[in-house]
Structure 1
């Protein structure tokens, strides 16, 4: 019979409800009967013993909170009776010992079909990228996007245009348009053959920076945009600049060359204040980009080893099952890829709270461990200076679904990084160059984190979610992994993989981890297209290094 509850770690003093449990219900676990004092919704936790104020609450084997007033065995953990608490952390030399890598025999000699760039890096996609140096050029990018998408076959809005056309026709015929809402529009897609079959997309990095604010913001933005231009998933770039902004066009070009002295992709630049007219600049940008597209359309996929993959791991819209199903499964996928010689990027520093000591102990080089400590403490201090802190990270949705403290949320989030040694620690926009698990400093915010992870070189991102989120990225395919069956069924239009069978006891974490890697291989090869890519969910938000949790 399927268990009703789960104890994640032997040191824990709370049990997780795997299904809705009624008040007064008796639950048996390891020979002990627990009579529930109140309703325990699925994903929430209840106490295994009576506890007093300041008693420590343990979950995932670590401190995640302290009791605020007396609670009884069988009562539900809540934001009222439990407050965030974590153990202090400090530098300790690497002491993980020999890593027990997973069995990768199933994936030995496996390959994926990627785009091999001249510098040896491999992309999972072949994109043309438009970059504005300043928000003033966003409208011109929108005009160009509309022109290119419709004509060259990259639009995904046709079904909604047809739906709107149908509403108009129903209205003109005097029909009740509410009846039209019930029609299935999933079939109403105007299928267009792409003109350039080997160009996976034309992407646009609209943003709100480049001028105003402080000069440091413009400098960081320049490094971020340069990282995207140099990304292995990008084959050519068009840059639009106004001319008077803080982030000067030449500064951005210099940042690209500094990041990669051997940069040789097609790069077209246009400055509006030096143009004859806006119309002329837009026409010239379209003309040269079209020429560039004919060039990069010659590139084709080649068989390459899995060691050429760089996998970003991210969670968003997390729930009480995230740290039990999707995140550990992705963590096992991470360990598989590390064992195969690939790179894994674990970011979201506010969501590594409570996992710091474990990560420090797993960091091979002392310099990297000290860098991690410095970045974490500076980030935490900056939040506390404005009256916030990592403890304020869980969102209302997180809390409703069982993530009561940041330590609980973060302990589960860190599971995405698996168990392998940490080979490097990277600040925002720094490129991952070492095979293995890399820590990347980004906010926990979904889009800011995926934006930063891509800048550090992720060529695929595994994004776990328990509540559902439409987050994507312009140039790095984002694969959505659901934590539970209900979400996977209800939001099937955005979910790619379901780890709900782990909760049901039908599959193990290891089995799901292998299935996830199989999907990654297909996605990296262009054999399957993640939903976020199909829907053009191209979210891009630069981090200004302010307080963002």
Structure 2
């Protein structure tokens, strides 16, 4: 019979409900008996001792809150009786850290089929990127998108256009009753993949980005955008790029070229640059179409070849989190992160607002003093900016997070940090800074799903693992985003967006390492192009650069 409750860490004074526990029920756990005066829903927690006002609540072995009123033994913690509280951190509090890497013998000789680049990195996809340097070119980008995708077989199916056509036909025949009685199931459902009669068989897609930056803001905003776009172009999943510029904006083409080569001195990809102010719109677009087409023909010659798992660079992200996130999907990808690191691969843990309360553990795990200091500086600067705007990290949990058991940011963060496993921290990166060190890197991004995934792609990840307890369609234009459910009910409810289920951990059917190993097996297929993510199938190409303002 599956367990009803779980205590995450021996030092915790809360117990997690894995099932709905009715009021007045008695729970026997680890030689203790708890009678619940109030019902406790699954994903929520009840305290193991009477707590006075100001009493500290601990979970995952760290401080996650402080009681705002007395809480009785067996009573659930809520936003009414608990406020955010976290442990102080700093370089002066560093403790010795020991780590035993997992046995990776069975993965040692495994490979995936990837696209080898001249700079030595390997892509899991072979994309051509089309991007504007400034928002003035967004319209031209969208025109190119429509032309290339429709003619070359990359456009999404017209599912909803067909639905509107069917409804229009009924309306034109005066049959409103038929429209009202029409059930969604009788309409055309989602096609899971565009019907592809593609002339460029080795080109996985042409990705068109738009944004609202490049001019009119601060020069720093343009510099950050330049760094991000250079990182996207350098990403191993990108084989070449077309860049449209107006000509007079802050972010100049020369700045982009310089930043691309600063990040990657071995850069050797087609990079096509066009400026509209040099002539007519037609001249710009016609030339861009012709040269982009020739570029596609060039990268179509690249074929997948075997590559070791050490060539994987995997982003670690969560969004739409719930009370099971830190118990199932997050530690499962933490195990995977440790395995990849032991193989010489790279993993990148994002979302600094969701490391609040877990800082000291990460400082302890960062052996290099300078890198540990960089982490402290980035965290403190970000936190201070948020507080100055009246939006501290404690305001991070969303209504959905709270409803499903993440009462404080420290609870959410302690569970979110589990995505980074237990390995030492190899590097600390600012937003979109290239990930180069084997092992685990910490990347300064907001918790915002798309700003974070955009930053990871800009740092060079060739896959992103994204855990979710509530469900989200988030994707990325150049980096496959794997949606991992924390509970099986979500997988069953949203099968069109969830790729992999960690719910069997909660149900007692799999251990965390077993689930993580199954995920890695599936990831090898994904990296090899044998399967695609639901976000790829839906054309969910989300791209939002972080302007470095307060974003949680």
Same fold (TM over 0.5): yes
Shift of 1:205: 1.7
Contact 1:241 1:271 in 2 (8 A): yes
Could you report, residue by residue, the CA deviation over 1:225-276 in whole angstroms, capped at 9, with x for unpaired residues? Answer: 111111111001000011121111221122112222332211111111112x
Could you report, residue by residue, the CA deviation over 1:150-194 in whole angstroms, capped at 9, with x for unpaired residues? Answer: 111111232222222222233334441231533152376772312
Q: How does 1:359-370 map to 2 (within 5 A)?
A: 359-370=362-373
Partner of 1:430: 433
Contact 2:49 2:72 in 1 (8 A): yes
2:227 to 209, 223, 228: 223
Instruction: Write the distance in 2 (CA, Å) between the matches of 1:262 and 1:457.
Output: 15
Partner of 1:9: 9
Instruction: Write the distance in 2 (CA, Å) between the matches of 1:191 and 1:339.
Output: 40
Structure 1: gaps of 5 or more residues: none
Shift of 1:280: 2.5
1:121 maps onto 2:124 in alignment: no
Q: How does 1:369-518 map to 2 (within 5 A)?
A: 369-518=372-521
Partner of 1:177: 179
Contact 2:319 2:467 in 1 (8 A): yes
Partner of 1:334: 337
1:210 to 204, 211, 214: 214
Q: TM-score, normalised by structure 2?
A: 0.97
Distance 1:198 1:80, change over 3 A: same
Instruction: Write the distance in 2 (CA, Å) between the matches of 1:190 and 1:350.
Output: 37
For residue 314 of structure 1, give the secondary structure of its aligned residue in structure 2. Answer: strand
Instruction: Write the distance in 1 (CA, Å) between the matches of 2:103 and 2:260.
Output: 40
Contact 1:93 1:366 in 2 (8 A): no
Partner of 1:38: 38
Q: How does 1:91-240 map to 2 (within 5 A)?
A: 91=91, 96-175=96-175, 176-178=178-180, 179=182, 181-186=184-189, 191-240=195-244
Contact 1:428 1:442 in 2 (8 A): yes
Partner of 1:59: 59
Partner of 1:265: 269
Instruction: Write the distance in 1 (CA, Å) between the matches of 2:210 and 2:165.
Output: 29
User: Which is worse superposed, 97-106 or 209-218?
Assistant: 97-106
Contact 1:321 1:483 in 2 (8 A): yes
Partner of 1:244: 248
Could you report, residue by residue, the CA deviation over 1:55-90 in whole angstroms, capped at 9, with x for unpaired residues? Answer: 110000110001111111121111111111111111
Contact 2:114 2:307 in 1 (8 A): yes
Contact 2:154 2:194 in 1 (8 A): no
1:546 maps onto 2:537 in alignment: no
For residue 182 of structure 1, give the secondary structure of its aligned residue in structure 2. Answer: helix
Distance 1:398 1:211, change over 3 A: same
Instruction: Write the distance in 2 (CA, Å) between the matches of 1:250 and 1:215.
Output: 15
Shift of 1:95: 5.2
Could you report, residue by residue, the CA deviation over 1:77-114 in whole angstroms, capped at 9, with x for unpaired residues? Answer: 11111111111111159755542111212212000001
Partner of 1:284: 287
Q: CA RMSD in A?
A: 1.4
Could you report, residue by residue, the CA deviation over 1:372-430 in whole angstroms, capped at 9, with x for unpaired residues? Answer: 11111111111111122111110111011110000000000000000001111111121
1:316 to 316, 319, 322: 319
Partner of 2:77: 77
Contact 2:94 2:360 in 1 (8 A): no
Q: How does 1:523-534 map to 2 (within 5 A)?
A: 523-534=526-537
Q: List structure 1 segments (4+ residues) > 6 angstroms apart after TM superposition.
A: none
Contact 2:234 2:460 in 1 (8 A): no
Instruction: Write the distance in 2 (CA, Å) between the matches of 1:323 and 1:537.
Output: 26
2:523 to 520, 535, 539: 520
Contact 2:65 2:84 in 1 (8 A): yes
Contact 1:46 1:73 in 2 (8 A): yes
Instruction: Write the distance in 2 (CA, Å) between the matches of 1:177 and 1:413.
Output: 46
Instruction: Write the distance in 2 (CA, Å) between the matches of 1:457 and 1:147.
Output: 28
User: Which is worse superposed, 512-521 or 175-184?
Assistant: 175-184
Structure 2: gaps of 5 or more residues: none
For residue 22 of structure 2, give the secondary structure of its aligned residue in structure 1. Answer: coil
Instruction: Write the distance in 1 (CA, Å) between the matches of 2:334 and 2:114.
Output: 23
Shift of 1:33: 1.9
